Amino acid sequence: MEDSLHDLYQRLALTETKNIEVVLEPGKLADALLSGGKCLIMKLFTAKHYNKEVFKSTLRKAWPLGLGVKFRDLDSTLILAKFENIKDKERVLREGPWLFVKHLVLMSEVDGWSQVHQIQMKMASFWVRIHDLPLMARTDYVGRLLGVKLGSVEEVDVEAGEMEWGEYLRV
């Protein structure tokens, strides 16, 4: 019996005649890519074990959503959040970073082309408050100049051509 299992295993490998190419029509994938625009991939930045159901429930309560969100486990560390409304997804990204039990929640947009095992999440976006700027320096231009000294700048929290009149400039 052991020899027959070994023989079966040996014949399991793909050969050139079995290696068939499959061509996908890009138009057939358009709905899937559109759906991915409403999704975020998340990972809790910890090596410790945590309860994923409590994690999902906590985020659902903490996020200011107009409509709902559904969660799907992609693997042991990655979770997909599918929002009913793209505005809710954008609001969650904009109002982050988010924490769960003092651990950072890493979030990434879904590109749709990567396989789950290829997804690496190593960076997070943070708002930085810059205090004590002269009033005339509280602009998008100055915010970007100062922000690049800290890292990459995604956004300066002022309207284009406007100034920030509050206590600080948010970059």
* pLDDT tens digits for range 102-148: 999 999 988 777 788 888 888 888 889 999 999 888 999 999 999 99
Does residue 20 form part of some domain? Answer: no
Give the domain range for residue 153.
129-170
Query: Mean pLDDT, to the nearest integer, of 1-13?
Result: 66
Question: 146 burial class (0-12, 13-18, 19+ CB within 10 angstroms)?
Answer: middle
pLDDT at 16: 62
Does residue 163 form part of some domain? Answer: yes
Of 61, 81, 110, which residue is a domain's last? 110
Backbone CA torsion sign across 56, 58, 64, 68: positive
How many independent structural domains does the chain possess?
2
pLDDT at 132: 92
* pLDDT tens digits for range 67-105: 889 999 999 899 999 999 899 999 999 888 999 999 999
Alpha helices in the chain (DSSP H): 2-10, 30-36, 52-62, 86-94, 140-147
* pLDDT tens digits for range 49-63: 999 999 999 999 998
DSSP 149: T
